[in-house]
Amino acid sequence: MLLRYLLIMAIGTFTASSAFARPHLFLGFNRALKDTQNQKGKVEDKPFSPTISAGYNFNLFDSGFGFSPQLGYIHTNQTANDDFGKQKVHTIFLNWDFIWISSLSDSLAFRFGIGNFIKRTSGEGGTVEIPNGGGTDQARRPDGTVNSYSSTFNLGADYRFDLQLPGPWVQDVGLRFELYTFRPLSSENRNYTFNFGTILYF
């Protein structure tokens, strides 16, 4: 069910006409920038999560501006810090980005826009003690599947190598970095994640 929309987008990527849009596929990873603490108060790094997305680059009014929506999936296996097993986290995201190709280089495109993230967290229930100042508090782990919804402000860049590959499918390869800001108006609850990886142009 989670992959259904991504599969539809991927099929569209291979069948779209390049006269109207440039389809592409992104393969990389996602990582959060905000540190967290386990139940002992130790700061832990966020995991690198495999990420895949499919999208199009639409040229607007034959100019350097374009519209670049993309639909993606992030897979995270987040190990719990206690005896309650693992939390399985799956995220679907839909980005509504615009791109601008600089006149200095046709290979470099800056992107900005907004995104919608749906995170599905599956757990085995129970509680865990977490640090809170000089003491601890108890927090409940998800029992079953819980969905959470977030909106983001997106900012990033794509670089195309202009390889002009002769193959019937992949015509070029590039790199993408995109930063996602969650709750950008809240200085207390603001968080950041980023995607980095390879783009395959068709």
How do the pLDDT tens digits run along the chain, 202 residues long? Answer: 444 544 444 444 443 444 456 899 999 999 988 655 444 545 455 678 999 999 999 988 777 889 999 999 999 866 555 555 567 788 999 999 999 987 888 889 999 999 999 998 776 666 666 666 666 666 666 667 778 899 999 999 999 998 888 878 888 999 999 999 998 888 788 889 999 999 999 8
**Is residue 3 a contact partner of residue 73, using CB atoms and an 8 Å limit?**
yes
pTM of the model: 0.75
pLDDT at position 69 is 94
pLDDT at position 127 is 65
DSSP lists the bridge partners of residue 121 as: 89, 146
CA distances from 142 to 25, 80, 126 (A): 33, 11, 8
pLDDT at position 15 is 39
CA-closest candidate to residue 80, choices 49, 50, 47: 47
Angle at 97 between CA 64 and CA 67, to 5 degrees: 40
Within 8 A by CB and 6+ apart from 170, the residues are 200, 201, 202
Q: How many residues does the chain have?
A: 202
Hey, is 6 helix, strand or coil? helix
Task: Please classify residue 141 by burial: count the beta carbons closer than 10 Å to its beta carbon, then call 0-12 exposed, 13-18 middle and 19+ buried.
Answer: middle
What CATH number should be reported for the domain whose range is 4-201?
A: 2.40.160.20
How far apart are alpha carbons 93 and 162 in whole angstroms? 28
How far apart are alpha carbons 120 and 142 in whole angstroms? 10
Domain boundaries, the chain: 4-201
**Is residue 143 a contact partner of residue 111, using CB atoms and an 8 Å limit?**
no
